[in-house]
Amino acid sequence: MTIGKFRIHREGYKIIGGVFFTLIALNTAGWLIWQGPSIWHYAGLAATLLLLAFVVMFFRTPARPVEPDPLLIYAPADGKIVVIEETFEKEYFKDNRLQISIFMSPFNMHSNRYPISGTVTYTNYQPGKKFHARSPKSSVLNERSSIVVTSESGTGILVRQVAGAMARRIVTYSRNGEGVKQGDELGFIKFGSRVDIFLPTDTEVDVEMFQQVRASRTIIARVI
């Protein structure tokens, strides 16, 4: 859905509609209870409008076209860098990888994008717990969805969507065997969460801890 230049993600249609009609019902009930306008009615109306505005903003999905470059790795999500470290990736590669993690607060755009172009060679969804997304154990214990994209040169990158304490649903659009383009949407996480990306250890990192990044805009690493 597009309102002027403001685009709303399709994952938000039902939620925004549900919130909208619920708030109308609550405000109508408040009008009847207070028998007309009052300071409490106006305060409640202001609060519900702020809530609706927050929900609409959460499901925003800005257009971010990318000119594909096989030597660049873009951020797969908006948010803050909370992990840059070498770690053993035990789900798919089963070797040491460079992990970069991006924490998404409820105020970030939550559409996730492909960091490189290539072919989807692995997808796996796992249910899990609801630890805070900043916690290191959330990457292996929380609800998560893993996607591996292999470039034409054979470089494989794993992107893991991780649900946080507030997240209620991970949506992944990736399908095994499909060709994908750098910057295209791979999925969406509803409310606070994080995205981990696992790169070859010889990758040149282009970001710093606690840096704010934007999906399909910030270069987080370069292929050597």
pLDDT tens-digit map of 137-160 = 656 667 889 999 999 999 999 999
Do 193 and 118 fall into the same domain?
yes
- Domain ranges, residue 17: 2-58
pLDDT, averaged per 10 consecutive residues of the chain (224 residues), comes to 65 82 82 72 82 83 90 96 96 97 90 96 86 60 90 95 74 95 92 89 96 97 90
Q: Report yes or no on 116 lying in a domain.
A: yes
pLDDT tens-digit map of 60-91 = 888 888 999 999 999 999 999 999 999 999 99
Asked whether the beta carbons of 113 and 186 are under 8 A apart, the reply is yes
Q: What is the pTM of this model?
A: 0.82
Is 193 considered catalytic here? yes
Q: What is the number of other CB atoms lying within 10 angstroms of the CB of residue 35? A: 8
Q: Report yes or no on 186 lying in a domain.
A: yes
Do 49 and 144 fall into the same domain?
no
Q: Out of 111, 138, 193, 216, which one is annotated catalytic?
A: 193
Do 101 and 208 fall into the same domain?
yes
Do 92 and 124 fall into the same domain?
yes
- In the chain, how many domains are there? 2
Q: What pLDDT is stored for residue 4 in this prediction?
A: 46
What one-letter code names the amino acid at 202?
D
Q: Report yes or no on 90 lying in a domain.
A: yes
Do 81 and 35 fall into the same domain?
no
Q: Report yes or no on 49 lying in a domain.
A: yes
